[in-house]
Structure formats: structure tokens, C-alpha cells
Chain A
Amino acid sequence: GAGVSQTPSNKVTEKGKYVELRCDPISGHTALYWYRQSLGQGPEFLIYFQGTGAADDSGLPNDRFFAVRPEGSVSTLKIQRTERGDSAVYLCASSTNGGGGPYEQYFGPGTRLTVT
């Protein structure tokens, strides 16, 4: 079946611009996660949705970052006034159940964001 998809696969933008990154989770998955991965490091948690609501946004680095999931399916990560330090691969993952413990997360291929 279809996995998690993310668009665009690559995004180049100029410093100061606004960008939106889209995530389509696996159908029926109630939990959705955004991570950010810098070169040579493991993914870093940004935000977690359970249904339509952001259950944990403690990983968002500052108020330039915002994410929505209005209908409990597709999610959009929005970054305002982009900075060169925002350059990274942004990963989305979904899970059947928002509970922790044993539940597996399915990751998309990521969006590579480059801020020039």
C-alpha cells in the first residue's frame, strides 16, 4: 500500500522567504510526527499530532515554525522568515496509534530544504 509521502522532495528558497512542506500520512493513521535532520545527525523531533490537534509541539525551535493538520490527515509544516540554519531534511512519520511503547512509526522520504 501507499506509504507516507512528502512534497516537495527538494525546496530551495532565499533567506527571509516563507515555505510550506506537505506530508500525506498513511491512510487511517491518527498520529503524525515531524522531525528535522541535519547532515550527519539523527532526526530531531519537532511536533506530534494526534488527530487534528498538536499534542506536543515542544520540539519546534521558535515561533517561526508552525504546523497544522486541519482534517486529521494531511499536515503542513510552515516556516516563516527562513534562515540559513533552517537548511535540513524535514521528515514526516505516521503511526496507527498515538500511544508510545511498542508502536511503530512509518517515515516518509523527507523534504530537503536549502535556504540560500
Chain B
Amino acid sequence: DAKTTQPNSMESNEEEPVHLPCNHSTISGTDYIHWYRQLPSQGPEYVIHGLTSNVNNRMASLAIAEDRKSSTLILHRATLRDAAVYYCILRDNYGQNFVFGPGTRLSVLP
């Protein structure tokens, strides 16, 4: 699976939008882009995934660049509960396990 690069940490104010970037310049045509987050003392939880088109769900939006070499996870209104480590991961149709990097630690300020 191709590698991703994320900032180590980011800060946001409560109730403001947050844009978490992810670079994946070596992505292949069959790689899905997954985002998981890990709240303190919990296991990772699914946030969103996409292949080519932008995606929206109740938790977040995923904006995928046209060349697919980068993507952005968008939290529309950050809450204190959104403080977590966010992981951007690529996985193709043949890969089973996720290969986690260090992720981005998001702090949300009241």
C-alpha cells in the first residue's frame, strides 16, 4: 500500500471548521482513501472513505484532489469531542490490514 504524509498536529477552535490534509503522491488507481480517528483510550473508529469522488457523511466530508495525490478531511464544526488522532490510510482491493502512520493529533480549543 502506498504511503501517506500528514502533519503531526493541528489546532482548531470549537465550532469552527477543520481541514485535515493528507498527501499520497504515490497512490495507485485502485487505492481507496480511508480516514479513521482515535479518541483517547479508545480503539480507532471509522470516519469516512472514498475512491475518486468527494464524499459526505454525518461525521465529515472527504475532498479528493482531481489527481488523487492528496485529500482533505473536513470537520464542518469542530467540537471538543473531535479531539483525537486522525489517520489517513490507503488500501487497495488486495490489501487486508490497514497500515497506520503516526496520524495528525487534533486539539480543539474551547
Residues of A within 8 A of B (CB): 4, 31, 33, 35, 40-45, 48, 55-56, 59, 91, 93, 98-102, 104-110
Asked whether, in the complex, the Cβ of A104 is within 8 Å of the Cβ of B101, the reply is: no
- Chain A residues closer than 8 Å to B49, beta-carbon distance: 102, 104
**Chain B residue contacts of A33, Cβ below 8 A:** 96-97
In the assembly, what is the distance between CA of A108 and CA of B49, in Å? Answer: 20
5 inter-chain pairs at a CB distance below 8 angstroms, sorted by A residue, are A48-B96, A55-B96, A99-B93, A101-B93, A105-B98
Secondary structure of the A contact surface, majority rule: loop
CB-based contact A100/B43 at 8 Å: no
Closest A residue to B45 by CB, please name it. A107
Chain B contacts to A: CB under 8 angstroms: 30, 32, 41-46, 49, 51, 85, 87, 91-103
Nearest to A102 among chain B residues (CB) is: B32
Q: Is the interface of B mostly helix, strand, loop or mixed?
A: loop
Using known A-B contacts A102-B32, A102-B51, determine if residue A43 contacts B44 with beta carbons closer than 8 Å.
yes
Residue of A nearest to B85 (CB): A42
Cα of A102 to Cα of B41 in the assembled complex, Å: 26
With a cutoff of 8 Å between Cβ atoms, the chain B residues found around residue A98 in the complex are: 96
5 shortest interchain CB distances as A-B pairs: A42-B100, A107-B43, A45-B97, A101-B93, A100-B95
B43 touches A56 (CB 8 A): no
Q: Is the CB of B94 within 8 A of A100?
A: yes
Residues from chain B with a CB closer than 8 A to the CB of A93 are: 43-44
